[in-house]
Amino acid sequence: MRILVFSDIHGDRAALDALMGQEADLYVAAGDLVSWGRGLDSLGPVLARRAPKVWVLPGNHEHESEIEFFCRRHGLNALHGRHFEADGWYVAGLGHSSPTPFNTPGEYTEEELAERLERFAGLKPLILICHCPPLETPLDRAAFGRHCGSRAVKRFLEREQPAWFACGHIHEAAGVRVRLGTTEAVNAGKGGFLIEVPGAGGG
């Protein structure tokens, strides 16, 4: 099974067109399709080319209610706070970010992130996709070496050790791939990352 995860498009239609031109079994937009929620609807037809195989998370630049409406309008799937099974795997998603200095529309406290992540505890084998990266890892390293990720996401990964974790949010870390314990982890970024896992039948 191949899952193309991407994040932080921020209105770049050409980048989104290129992603939708790639072949995959599932597509996950991990947040911030646009900036401050502006122009979201104009990207719907691009993603709809791959419907119903497209799942969407809100980033910190979109509120979950906007993404719910957007997905209904364009025949896409909202993944925020949900999980589904595909080819013997659980795929789970949580959007929004920990607090930022910018007061963007989609921010949670660390306590809210932890509470919502608990819905996915015990799911195995798990592919977890969040907008926000774990704190103090190569996935959340921003300009000047600052770390801007989530403590709650980090703790969940340390405890649950999903097979795969993908995120976005921190543009400077786009494309970074690391191993966190037994978890293969990547900041997918605008260029996207193709997660390939064996299916129930071994393919």
**What pLDDT, in 10s, does the model give residues 92-110?**
999 999 999 999 999 999 9
Q: How many domains does the chain have?
A: 1
pTM over 0.85: yes
> What is the per-residue pLDDT for 201?
56
The verdict on residue 25 lying in a domain is yes
CB atoms within 10 A of CB 85: 10
pLDDT in tens, 37-50: 999 999 999 999 99
Angstrom distance (rounded) from CA 121 to CA 167: 18
CB atoms within 10 A of CB 125: 12
CATH of the domain at 101: 3.60.21.10
* Residue with the two structure tokens 């921010």: 107
Task: Decide: residue 108, CB within 10 A, 0-12 exposed, 13-18 middle, 19+ buried.
Answer: buried
The verdict on residue 158 lying in a domain is yes
The verdict on residue 203 lying in a domain is no
- pLDDT bin (cut points 50, 70, 90) of residue 202 is low
Domain containing residue 150? 2-196
Task: Decide: residue 161, CB within 10 A, 0-12 exposed, 13-18 middle, 19+ buried.
Answer: middle
